Structure 1
Amino acid sequence: MRDRLSVFGIDIVKGSVRSRSRRPMYALVRLEESEIVSEGTVSMFRLFRLLSEERPDILAVDSIQEIATDQHELFFFLQGLPPQTKLVQVTGGEKKETLGKVAARFNISFDRFDPFAEARTSARVAALGAGAEVIAFENESEVVVSRHRSPGRGGWSQNRYVRKIHGAVQLKGREIEMQLAATGLRYEKKETKAFGGCSRVLFRVFAARGQVPISTYRGADVQVRISGKKLERIRFRPLSGKPRYMIVGIDPGTTTAIAALDLDGNLLHLESSRQMNMSGVIEALYRAGKPLVIASDVQEMPHTVEKIRRAFSAVAYTPNQDTPVETKLALTAGYPYSNVHERDALSAALDASVQYQHKFRNLIKRVPPGHDLDEVRARVIRGQALDQVLVEMHAVAPSAAPAEEAPTAPAGEGGRHDDRVRVLDGMVKRLRTYVDELQEEVKAKEYEIHRLQGRLRTVHDDRTVQLAKDAEVAKRDAIIASLKKRLRREERHGRTLAKRVERIRTYAELSVDGEAQPVKVLDALTREGLRRLTGDTGVHEGDIVYVQRTGGWGKSVVRDLAEAKVRALITPGGGEGDVQMGAAFREAGIPLLTSSETAVQVKGRQGLAPKDRIGPAISRWQEEQAQFVREKESSRIEHMFKEYKSERGKEVKKGGGRNDGRP
C-alpha cells in the first residue's frame, strides 16, 4: 500500500480535444509528497498508459473541458482511469474560480502562460486539498464475463470447441463469484445458459468500482469487463471537507441580519429575517462556513451576538465607538443589500475585514508558498505566533531544550510562552462561564419541557375522549340518516299504496252501483302499459278495460289480456290497424268494442260506461263471434273435405294405372 501521496498535474500544451486534426498534447507534472518527480509532454494515449502503470492518487486539471468535450466523453475518460485515481478539478465544482485565485489561497504564484507552470500549480494545490473530485458513477458496478471469440460456423470439432469456450466462461464466473463472496460484497448474478456452460455471466455489485476486487481481463476464450453505473449528471465533491473561514457581522433585533465575508473580503452570504432566532443564525452560519471573527457595529457587543460568538469560539470585534450611518454607507457602497438591517450587519463585517487586512498583507510576505493562507491567518488571529503555526502545519515538533536547561531559555521565547498561557487561561475562563450559562439554559429548558409534556398529556387525553365521542356521534348520525332515508322511502311507498287502495275502493263502489259499469283505463296497448295498470289497480277476471292508444300493440299483450280473462276491451276506434287487431282479439275470444258504441266516459285512470249500452254491445260481439266460429269451423271442414277428395283422386289415378284392363 502506498504511503506517499502521488499526484499527476496536466495542462494542454497544444491541440484540442475538439479538433480532429490536432489531437491534444499535455504538459504532465508528477508530484510525490510535494516534490516534483518528473515533467514532460504526453499524448492522451501515453497519459492513459502512465495512469495504468503508476496508478496515482489524484489526476489534477484546471478544467475538465481540457480532457472531454461533453459528458459522454467524460464518462468514457473516467471509465478508463484506475479505480483508486481521483479526477480533481482544482478550480472548483459547479462554482468555478480561476487557477490564480485558488493558488493565491496557498500563496503560490505562477506564469499563467506556461502550461508546465499551470500543471505544476494544479498538482500542488490538489495535493494541498484544493478543488473538487469529479463524480460520475454511483456506488454500483457491473462485472460482465463473456466470450472473447465467436464460435463461428466450425467443422467436425465444432461442438467440442463451443463447449470449451462456454465452460471457460462459466468457470471464470464462478471464480469471480467466490471472490465477491469472500469480500462480503452484496451482488446479484445473472447467467445466460448456453451449450456446455454459459455464454455470458453478469454480476451487479452494490459497491463502487474501486471497491470491487476484480480487474479487467482478456484471455484466449474469456474476457472480463468491469464498469460503474453512470449518474444522470456529473457531480462534484470537494476534495477537502474543511469549511472556509469567515468574518461575520450580525445585527440583532426584531429583524435579525447576518453578513459573512471570506478572509479576502469577498461577500459569501447576506440574509435577514424576522423569524430568525439564535439557533437559526447558528445554522445559517454553519452552512455558509466557519466563523472566525464575529463583529458588531456598536461598541459594546449585544448579549445575543456574544452568545453566538461563544457557540463558534470566534474572535470578537467591536469598533471603538458606535459606527455612524455615514460610515456604514461608505463601507457598504457597491454591495447589494435589501434593508438597513442587512446594511448594518454588512458594515460590521466590512469594518472588521478592513482592520485585519494590514495584518493579512504582512503575513502573505512572510508565509512561504504551499501553505493554506486561510488556516495560517485563522491561527494568527486566534493568538498563535506565525513561526509556531508554520511548524505545526509542517507536522514537525519544535526543537525543545532538555528539562534541566529550561530556566536558561531565551527571554523572548519565555515571553511568548507566557502570552500564550495567558490567552489560553482567558479562553478557559470564558468557556467555563459559557458552559455555566448553557447549563442554566438546559435546566430551564428541561423544566419547560416537563411542563409542556404534562400539558400535552392532558390535551391528548381530552382530545382522545373528544375524538371517541365524535366518532360515536358520527356513527349515530349515519344510522339516523340511513333510517330517515328508509323512512322517506317507506312513506312514499305508503302514499302510493294508499292511492292504489283508494282507486280500488272507488272501483269497487262503482261496481256495486247498478246504473254504470266501471272501466279501468290503460294508457297504451303494450305489455309495459298493462304492467303499469296491473301494479296500479290490478287487472282481474271480468274487468272491462279502456285503452287510450292502440299504436304499437302486439299479439303478446293480447295473450296477456286473454290470460287475465278480461270481459272486454274498449278502443277509441278507427285507424289502419283495426282489422288486424280485431282478428287477433277474435282469435283470443276477447270482445273488442269502440267508445262510440259503449258511450264510455273516461276521467283520469278510471271510466264509466252505461250498462244498457255495454251489455248489448258485448252481446252483439258475441253473436258475431259465434258466427265467426261457425264460419271458421265450416271453412275448416270444407278444407279437410277438399284435401281428402284430392288425396282420394290421386290414389284412384295411381290404382287405375297399375290395373289397366281389369274389372
Structure 2
Amino acid sequence: MLVNIVELLHDSCILGIDIYNRDLYAYAIYSSGSIVDKGIANSYELYRLIKRYRPSIIAIDNVREILEIGRDFIKKLAKLPFTINIIQVTMIEPGKEISLENLVKERLNIDVRKLDPESTAIYLTLLASQGIGSIVKLYEPETKIIIKASISTSQGGMSRNRFERNIAHRVKQIVDDIKRVLDSHRIDYDLFYQSDSEALRSATFIVYASKAIVRSLIKPIRSIDVKVSIESIPTQTIRYAAINYDERTVETSIRDRYVIVGVDPGIVTGLAILDLNGNILHLYSGKNLSRRKAIQIITQYGT
C-alpha cells in the first residue's frame, strides 16, 4: 500500500505535542494554514482534543513524547474511527536526525537558541505541514475485529442456557456476516473463536488490511448483547519509514540459517524454533497470533 503523507498535509489537521512536565503536554493544532488552538493538557485532555479535531498527523520531535503518555494512550489511538499518522519531525529521513532548533532555522528561517515546550509544539506542526520528518510506525499493517458478548450469563437461573444460546447465535451470525464481506472483497484474515462453557462468547479477526479499509466495509456495533470493535494492532518494535514509502518494497532481513519450526495453532498459538541439529533457539506462545507476527518471530532466527 502506497502511503503518501504529503498529499494529506494540505487538507489535514496536524497536532504538535511536546512534554511540558511529568504529567502535562504542550500542544498546538494546525489547520488550514494557521494555528487554531494551543495550550497545555494532560493525557486525558489530549485524547479529548484528538477526538474533537480528528488530526490526521501527530507531530513530535522525539518518539518518547508518545511513549511518555503511555501504552494505554497508544491503544486508545488504535481504537479511534479515523487513522492518525505519527511523524517525528527531527528524523528528516530514517536513520538521520537533526535538532529541532536547526530545522527551525533552516526550514523556517527563524533563529532560535532554546525552544520552550509551547513553541516546540507550534514549530512541529509548521515543519510537519511542509512534509518534513519520518513516519513512526507504531502499528502493524493489519487490523483486529473483536466480536464479544456485552452481557454476562454467569448469574445462572432458569433462563441461563437460553441466554447463552441466543448470545452464541448472535455472535456467530455477526462473524458469518463479517466473513462474507471480507471474502467478497478478497481480504485475507485469520479467525479465532473463544467459548465460555459450551457457548460461543467471542471471536477475533486478524485482518491483513489497514483500519481505514476495514472500517470502510465493516462498522462497529455496540448493542445490549454484543459489541463489535475495530482497532489497529500496536507493534512490539518501533520502526521508521520515509514520508513517501511503499510497503511492497520493504524487505525483511532473513538470515541464511535454516530452521525447524513447530506450530501449535489455536487461540493461544505456540511456536518452537530449532536449528537443524535439534537445538532450541526460541520458544514463544501468544494469544491470537497473526501470521505476520509469527513470520517476524521466525525470521529472526532463520528460514
Per the shorter chain, which TM-score range? 0.5 to 0.7
**Structure 1 residue 182 displacement after superposition:** 4.7
| Whole-angstrom CA distance in 1 between matches of 2:88 and 2:53 | 20
Partner of residue 4 from structure 1, selected from 5, 8, 11:
11
| Whole-angstrom CA distance in 2 between matches of 1:123 and 1:226 | 28
**Structure 1 residue 7 displacement after superposition:** 0.8
Partner of residue 223 from structure 2, selected from 206, 219, 225:
219
**Structure 1 residue 51 displacement after superposition:** 1.7
Q: Report if aligned partners of 2:29, 2:36 keep a CA contact under 8 Å in 1.
A: yes
Instruction: Give 1:205's aligned residue.
Output: 207
Whichever residue aligns with residue 147 of structure 1, its letter is: A
| Whole-angstrom CA distance in 1 between matches of 2:70 and 2:172 | 35
Is 1:34 matched up with 2:44? Answer: no
| Unpaired runs of at least 5, structure 2 | 1-7, 246-303
Instruction: Give 1:161's aligned residue.
Output: 163
**Structure 1 residue 82 displacement after superposition:** 5.2
Q: Scaled by the length of structure 1, what TM-score is found?
A: 0.32
Percent identity for Structure 1 against Structure 2:
26
2:107 aligns to what SS in structure 1?
Answer: coil
Q: Report if aligned partners of 1:48, 1:81 keep a CA contact under 8 Å in 2.
A: no
| Whole-angstrom CA distance in 1 between matches of 2:236 and 2:65 | 21
Is 1:97 matched up with 2:98? Answer: yes
**Structure 1 residue 86 displacement after superposition:** 0.4
CA distances 1:41-95 after superposition (whole Å, capped 9, x unpaired) = 2221122122234321111111121231499568546535554210111110543
- Report how many residues are paired: 232
Instruction: Give 1:239's aligned residue.
Output: 243
Whichever residue aligns with residue 205 of structure 1, its letter is: V
| Whole-angstrom CA distance in 2 between matches of 1:73 and 1:153 | 31
How has the CA–CA distance of structure 1 residues 197 and 178 changed in structure 2, closer, same or farther, with 3 Å as cutoff?
farther
Q: Report if aligned partners of 1:129, 1:240 keep a CA contact under 8 Å in 2.
A: no
**Structure 1 residue 121 displacement after superposition:** 0.4
CA distances 1:263-309 after superposition (whole Å, capped 9, x unpaired) = xxxxxxxxxxxxxxxxxxxxxxxxxxxxxxxxxxxxxxxxxxxxxxx
Whichever residue aligns with residue 188 of structure 1, its letter is: D
How has the CA–CA distance of structure 1 residues 94 and 210 changed in structure 2, closer, same or farther, with 3 Å as cutoff?
farther
| Whole-angstrom CA distance in 2 between matches of 1:84 and 1:198 | 31
Q: Report if aligned partners of 2:13, 2:53 keep a CA contact under 8 Å in 1.
A: no
Q: Scaled by the length of structure 2, what TM-score is found?
A: 0.66
| Whole-angstrom CA distance in 2 between matches of 1:128 and 1:44 | 27
**Structure 1 residue 143 displacement after superposition:** 1.5
Instruction: Give 2:191's aligned residue.
Output: 189
CA distances 1:549-589 after superposition (whole Å, capped 9, x unpaired) = xxxxxxxxxxxxxxxxxxxxxxxxxxxxxxxxxxxxxxxxx
1:106 aligns to what SS in structure 2?
Answer: helix
User: Which has the larger share of helix?
Assistant: 1
| Whole-angstrom CA distance in 1 between matches of 2:29 and 2:193 | 43
Give matches, 1:300-319, under 5 Å: none
Instruction: Give 1:120's aligned residue.
Output: 122
**Structure 1 residue 199 displacement after superposition:** 1.7
CA distances 1:219-272 after superposition (whole Å, capped 9, x unpaired) = 32222233444545211112256xxxxxxxxxxxxxxxxxxxxxxxxxxxxxxx
User: Which has the larger share of strand?
Assistant: 2
- Aligned-pair Cα RMSD in Å: 3.0
How has the CA–CA distance of structure 1 residues 87 and 116 changed in structure 2, closer, same or farther, with 3 Å as cutoff?
same
Give matches, 1:338-349, under 5 Å: none
Whichever residue aligns with residue 109 of structure 1, its letter is: I
2:137 aligns to what SS in structure 1?
Answer: strand
| Whole-angstrom CA distance in 1 between matches of 2:153 and 2:202 | 14
| Whole-angstrom CA distance in 2 between matches of 1:229 and 1:167 | 27
Whichever residue aligns with residue 121 of structure 2, its letter is: A
